[in-house]
Amino acid sequence: MNFTEQLNEVGIVLNDTQRSQFDKYFEILVEWNGFMNLTGITEYEEVLVKHFLDSLAVGKYSEKFAGNPELSIIDVGTGAGFPGLPLKIAYPQAKVVLLDSLNKRVKFLDEVITQLGLTGITAVHARAEEGARNAAYREQFDISVSRAVANLSTLVEYCLPFVKAGGYFIAYKSGDIDAEAEGAKRAVSLLGGRIESVEKMTLPGTDIERSFVFVKKEKPTPKKYPRKAGLPSKEPLG
C-alpha cells in the first residue's frame, strides 16, 4: 500500500501541488535535522508513514471539522510541525497556528512555510501556558491538536483553553488510552470540556496503533487555567 492509498483510506486525496509540498517538507526536515534535533525518523518512507500519514489519520473522523470553510487550528507543542503542518497542506483553507516553546524550531517552521508557499499559517514562539493567556489565542480556535507526549490530564490543561465553545481538542495518543482517558475526566470537566469519544485505529498498511481523544469544549475555561509554567505537568488536575 503506497502513501496515496494510505491517505485515501483515511479520506484524504492530495493534488500534485500538495504531493510536491510534502516532498519539499521532507527535504527541508532532513536538511535541518543535520544541524538540530528535529526527529529521529529520517528515512523517506518512514517519514511518510510515522509523521505525515500519522498526522493526517484524523481525517478519517473529519465529519467533526472538515466542513467548516473558516476552520482554525492550533497545534500546541508542534515540534517539527506535526500534526499541524501536514493538516495545513491537506486542508489548505484552514487557518493554522503552530505553537512551540523553542525558538530554533519556530525558525525551521518559518522556513518550511516560506519554501512551501503556504499562506494562512504562522509559527509562534511561546510556551502553551503563556499562549493560552494571550487574548489573541485564548478561545479563538475551532480545533486544538497535540501530538506531544504528556498525560491527557496535563495536555488538556495546555490545549483546551485555546478552543472556542463548540470546538474540539484532539489529542493524538498511542497505546492503551482507556484508563488515561477515564483518569482525565475531572480535569476535562474543570476546564470546560467533555470527552466525546476515543477513536482507535491502525494506520493503513501498517501495524501502528493510534488513538484520537476528541474533547468537546462546552463552556469557557475558567480564567485561572492554565496554571503557571510547569504546574500542569508536575501536578496534573485530577
Cβ neighbours of residue 185 under 8 Å, at least 6 residues apart?
Answer: 195
Residue identified by cell 470527552 is 195
* Positions at the binding site for S-adenosyl-L-methionine: 77, 82, 128-129, 147
* Positions at the binding site: 77, 82, 128-129, 147
Cβ(229)–Cβ(129) under 8 Å? yes
Output the nine-digit C-alpha cell for 190: 474543570
Amino acid at 176: D
Cβ neighbours of residue 179 under 8 Å, at least 6 residues apart?
Answer: none
Q: Is residue 94 packed enough to be buried (19+ CB in 10 Å), middle (13-18) or exposed (0-12)?
A: buried
Q: Is residue 206 packed enough to be buried (19+ CB in 10 Å), middle (13-18) or exposed (0-12)?
A: middle
Cβ neighbours of residue 39 under 8 Å, at least 6 residues apart?
Answer: 29, 33, 47, 51, 79, 80
Helix pair 103-116, 16-33: axis angle to 10 deg: 150
